[in-house]
Structures are given as C-alpha cells and as structure tokens.
Amino acid sequence: MRTSLVIANWKLNGDLALVKRMAQQFAGSLEKTTTTVVVCPPAVYLKAAEIALAPAHIKVGAQNCAAHTDGAFTGEISAQMMRECGATYVIVGHSERRAIFGETDDVLAEKIVRVQECELTPVFCVGETLEEREADAVESVIERQLDAGLADADFSRLVIAYEPVWAIGTGKTASPEQAQEVHAMIRRWVRSKAPEQADTLQILYGGSVKADNASTLFNQPDIDGGLVGGASLNPEQFDAICKAAKDT
C-alpha cells in the first residue's frame, strides 16, 4: 500500500561536483524500482540538481522555506520560488531549524500551509531530545509537535519524518524496535486525524541512517524509508541506503 521514500538532506554541505557525482552514481539504478529518491541540496543548487538528477530519476527538494509568500523578508525564499527552481518536496521543522533558528510550532504550521498551497509535499519532522526520552515523554512531545504543526495540513500530500534529536549526527541510532514503536504511534495519531490516509502516508526515520543499518530499520512495518543526513554526502553509501528500501 506504500512505496518507499529516501531523502538526502545535504544541510550546509555539497557543491556542483557532488551533484554530478550523485547523478553518475545513480545513472540507471532506479529505473526498475518504485522507491522514490529525493536530494535536498542547498537552495542555490536546486536548479542545477534538478537538471542533473532528472535523467537518474531522482527528484529534488528544499531544506526549508519561508512562512511567507512574499514581502520585505530579506534572505528568505518562498515555497513558490522553491517550486520554480525544481523542488517537489520541502523539509519543514527539522530539529536544527527548531533548536538553532528558533522556529516555533506556529511558524512551522504556517510553513506547512505555504508548502501545500504551492502543491509541494512537506516533509514534517518531529522528534524528542535525550532528556525528553529519559523522562518518558516521547509520546507527549511528538503528539504536541504533530498537533501544532499539522493543525491545518492536507494529509493527502504529506510525509512525516521521525528524527530523534539525540541520534542526529551523533553516530547513535535508535534501535529498530525503538524506531518502530514511535513510527507506529505516529501512524495511530494520523489514523485519529485522517483515517483514510493512515495506511498510505509515508513515515520516514531520520537519525544517523547509514548503509550498514538501513536494511534493519527499513524492514520495520511502519518505517517507509529514511531522511538521511551525513551519509547522503557519499554517493556510494547513499545508493546502498536506497537499495535497502522496501516496498510495503
């Protein structure tokens, strides 16, 4: 009922040479699979990535967008601008945007609306810190993030990514059982809000996904792929992660 989705989040990394290497690595490898692969480079490389990666059947996405459509917001880039540069997905609410740039639940809810207005697919990120996990507050934290961020969302055009903050860029990874437990909880939440979408909505795991742990994570029943950070900067390793994705 669900196909797999694997998204590369390059963050503040990469260059045109990496775009070219990624295109070369994936040339012909996705022609016989239903797995969707998306690369989210820095915004300045979106158009170049769209042109280079399209022959390899890779889509491109944005790492962020403004909560506004236009106006006096120096340095911001709207969802519509991202779309015109080739983006089909937009990451919203990554933990680094929340923690470093102070993006609130209200701001993220606005971004979800702006992204969907432009007929793009938001990848909405949720996850707990180590302190929140140790306090047994995982479910309450994630439900609060979901309730606030997706209050006005269209669930027919949406991806959710679970990224335990304590596992991002640390080398630590949630066990397959830990990840599955949270993914199942998220799917129950979706069922309570949009029951007709619960079995088709893709939920991704993000948190130090690598070639050597991707298969065990992706084989969990409610994990539909990954939001991949550092490992996506290595075309060979990212290719191996994509090959580990399953169809469910």
The tokens describing 225, both together, are 């792929």
**Best CA proximity match to 244, nearest among 206, 222, 217:** 217
- Give the tokens for residue 164: 């335990």
On whether the CB atoms of residues 135 and 112 are closer than 8 A, the answer is no
Which of 66, 96, 102, 71 has the alpha carbon at shortest distance from 82? Answer: 66
| Per-residue tokens: 132 | 């929140």
Structure tokens belonging to residue 234: 């290595």
Q: Which of 103, 110, 128, 163 is catalytic?
A: 163
d(CA 186, CA 223): 11
Active-site residue, selected from the candidate residues 50, 94, 103, 128: 94
Q: Does residue 94 have an active-site annotation?
A: yes
Give the separation between CA 28 and CA 36, rounded to whole angstroms: 14
CB atoms within 10 A of CB 221: 11
- 139 carries an active-site annotation: no
DSSP-derived secondary structure letter, 72: S
By annotation, the residues acting in catalysis are 94, 163
